[in-house]
Structures are given as structure tokens and as C-alpha cells.
Structure 1
Amino acid sequence: MNHIRLQQTLPQAFARRDAITSQIWHQDIIFSKGKRYLIEAASGTGKSSLCSYIYGYRRDYQGIINFDERNIRSFSVNEWVDIRKHSLSILFQELRIFPELTALENILLKNRLTNYKKNKEIITLFEAIGIPDKINERAGKLSFGQQQRVAFIRSLCQPFDFIFLDEPISHLDNENSVIMSALLMEEAGKQGAGVIVTSIGKHPELEYDETFRL
């Protein structure tokens, strides 16, 4: 996948609003593979909804979302499975961690779909992000910031053309935010992938190609 295009896309919940000032909604926007984008938003402007639309989790929007030249509404279940395994990765704001599984089990559950990372590489990521002692801890016992780092590692454990990160450092200190940014850029660079980050204020300090106001 080389491009994601939004054409007059708008959450159905916003359809009756008299005026919408946005650089994303009701616009013609193209995200290109290999570039870095920041989407700044106030709470309640549909930032998380945008991620869910593009990831195919929700369909309650107007307009068109295309992957390359194809409308995503036309994808079958099997096609979505393949896209989520090989083309799109996402770090949801709410993380979607399985609390009863250990931190490592949460990662392996994803990694086993493609065997993209070796176990040694995954352990190295735990060490780099500062939670090597949490590998075998149940995720539900971790702090939100620690869970956020587990979800981040999980998002890197697959091939992708684009990676979405919805408020990825909201509960991280500056030191860990810098580490996450470096790991993200290393993996995205290795894959030639596009990076799309959403934020309501705090975001990874990357060299963004474009910044949009939602």
C-alpha cells in the first residue's frame, strides 16, 4: 500500500453540525508511504474515530477512504485480515491489552501471526523501552504507562506500510518518549513505512512532513 486517501470523510455524528473547521474532515487528504504526519486535535473532534475508520473497525462515516485506488468499504473480511497483518499497524489510545496475559504473551499473540520478530529482538525492545523486568508480569498489573510501552512494542511486531499511533506517549516521561521515538523511526525507516501520530498536546518529537489540525 502506497497511499491512504480521505475524500470528504466525516463522522456521521458530525453531519448535522452547521460548520466544521478541520484540515482533515470534509477535505481531500493523501497520506503517503514513507512520510511522517502529525494530527493535532482537541478532545472530542474525532481523532480516535479517524484511526478506527482507517483500520476498518468502524464504518459510521460519510465520504470515501481509499487504500491506493480502492474504497475500503469493498474489502472482504479476509482482505482486512491480510491488511492488518501486513500493511497496517496501530497503537490504540485505549491500548487493547489483554490484562490476563503477561506482557510478553500480549506481544507474542501478535507476532505469531507473521513471525516478523525473533524472540531475541522482542526482548531487546523490552530492554530498550525500560521494562525488561515486566516481561512475565500480567499486563493487568502494570501501570498505564507500562501497558502503553507494551502496546507500542506490539505495534512494531509486524510488517506494515503505515503505522498509526493514537496519543502514544500520553503517560510517558520525556526520556521514554525520546526512546520510543527513536525505536519508531528505526522500524518505520527499515520498512519504508508512513507514520501517522495523533495528539491532543503531547506527541513524539519527530521530523514531521506535514501537520494537520483535526
Structure 2
Amino acid sequence: MKLRTSGLVPIPLKDRLSARQSDIWSQSLELEKGRYLSVLAPSGTGKTTLIQSLYGIRRDYEGAIFWGDQNLRTVTEEELAHLRSTQISIIFQDMRLFPDCTAWENLEIKRSLTNTVSPEQVSEWMLQLGIADKKNAPAAQMSYGEQQRLSIIRALLQPFSFLLMDEPFSHLDKRNTRIASGLILSVVQQHNAALLLADLDENDFFPYHQTLQL
């Protein structure tokens, strides 16, 4: 499967973006499995809008987004749910955890949907990212950095061919960013998946094949 966009422009940002050059907005984009793409997006240029549009949360755009031969604007809710559960995973900037559920419950809700990762592996990843001691803590009582590491693990608990990431390390220090990015890369490689990371600044979190300016 391949991700393709054509003439994509977010309608709420159309006037603001018309005066600047972009490698993505109004252009054509292709991303295949096994490729790593970095998208540099200064504030106000639609970084989160791009990620949410690709994931099918937002549809207030001109142009088209295709996952394989499926036009994201015309897929049914059932088809979109299938894409999200089998082909596309995401790390949200705002994390979107269940605040009253424990860290383990947040992960188990996702893991149990596909049962492709064992509970033992989940525990190992929590230990690796330094949040094993937060297993029974409500997500709302965890720090932003701990919540971000939790959301990273959650995104890896399903089969996927594409991983979308919106500032996934914004609350992490360099050490924890290195550990978390290493885990992500390892799982992405296991799936031979593509990754698309949108961030504010240039980075070397992953061995990107291409860097584009939003």
C-alpha cells in the first residue's frame, strides 16, 4: 500500500498558506512502506492539521488523500476503522489517553483489539521507557513526559504499515527521546513500515529518506 496526496490544502489555512512555498501543500506526495519521511513545520503551517487529515479525523481540505486505492474522503466509517486497525497507527501530539484509566488499562484497551503484542512485551516496553512503576497509576496523575511515553507504546500495539507522528518527543529530554525513538524504529523495521514525523525543527531521531518543508 502507498500513501498519496494530490493538491492537498487545508481550507481554514488556505489564505495564510497561499503566500508561502511548501513541499506538501498544493503539491503531490507519495510515501511507500519502508520509507521514513520528516516534515518540518513551523508554527501555524498546519502540522497537526496534516497529521489529522491523513488519519481521517479532519476532512476540511481541498485535494485528495489516498491510502492505496481508497480515497479518504469517500471511505465508509467501517473502511476507515479497518485502515486504522490494520494499516495506520498514530502518535497524537495531545496524546488522547483515557485520564481516569491506569497506564496499563490505557495500553490493554488498545492491545486487546488486535492481540498482536503479548502482555509480557508490553511490560518490557514499559520498563524500557522507564514507566513500569506507573503501571497502576491513572494517566491523569502521570507527568506529560510519562504520558507521552505511554502514548508511544500504545501506538505500537497493533499491526501497521504506516506510523504517523505529531511531535512525539516534545515532552521528553534527550535521553528519553533516544530510548523512545530507538524502540519506535525497532518496531517500524519489524513491520517494514513507513513513518512520517511532523515536527517544528530539524532532527535526527530517525534515518530519514527525505525531509520536506511544510
TM-score band w.r.t. shorter chain? over 0.9
Q: How does 1:1-80 map to 2 (within 5 A)?
A: 2-17=1-16, 18-80=18-80
Q: Is 2:174 aligned against 1:174?
A: yes
Deviations 1:163-207 (A, max 9, x none): 011101111111111111111111011111001111112755211
Alignment of 1:152-171 (within 5 A): 152-171=152-171
How far has the Cα of 1:14 moved from its partner?
2.4
User: How big is the shift at 1:70?
Assistant: 2.5
- Judged with a 3 Å threshold, the aligned counterparts in structure 2 of structure 1 residues 204 and 119 are, in CA distance, closer, same or farther, namely farther
Aligned partners of 2:40 and 2:202 also within 8 Å? no
**Matches of 2:102 and 2:3, distance apart in 1:** 34
Equivalent position of 2:103 in the other structure: 103
Are the equivalent residues in 2 in contact too, given 1:169–1:202 (CA < 8 A)? Answer: no
Report the 3-state secondary structure (helix = DSSP H, G, I; strand = E; otherwise coil) of the residue aligned with 2:113: coil
Match of 2:92 in 1: 92
Aligned length: 213
* Displaced runs of 4 or more, over 4 A: none
| Aligned residues of 1:167 and 1:202 also touching (Cα < 8 A) | no
Distance in structure 2 (CA, Å) of the matches to 1:15 and 1:92:
23
Supply the distance in 1 between the matched residues of 2:20 and 2:63 (Cα, whole angstroms): 15
Q: After superposition, give the CA deviation of every residue in 1:68-114 in whole Å (9 maximum; x if it has no partner).
A: 23311121111111111110000000000111000110011111110
The aligned residue for residue 184 of structure 1 is 184
- Go from structure 1 to structure 2 and tell me whether the alpha carbon gap of 1:204 and 1:122 turns closer, same or farther (over 3 Å shift): farther
Percent sequence identity over aligned pairs = 36
Structure 1: give runs of 5+ residues left out of the alignment: none
TM-score, length basis structure 1: 0.96
More displaced 10-residue stretch of structure 1: 41-50 or 10-19: 10-19
* RMSD over aligned Cα atoms: 1.1
1:135-164 Cα distance to aligned partner (Å, 9 max, x none): 111000001010000000000000001001
Give, as a single letter, the amino acid of the residue that structure 1 aligns with 2:30: I
The secondary structure found in structure 1 opposite 2:15 is coil
SS in 2 for 1:74: coil
Give the alignment's TM-score, normalised by structure 2. 0.96
Structure 1 residue matching 2:114: 3-state secondary structure: coil
SS at 2:50 equivalent: helix
Residues 137, 202 of structure 1: alpha-carbon distance in 2 compared, 3 angstrom cutoff: farther
Secondary structure in 1 matching 2:90 = strand
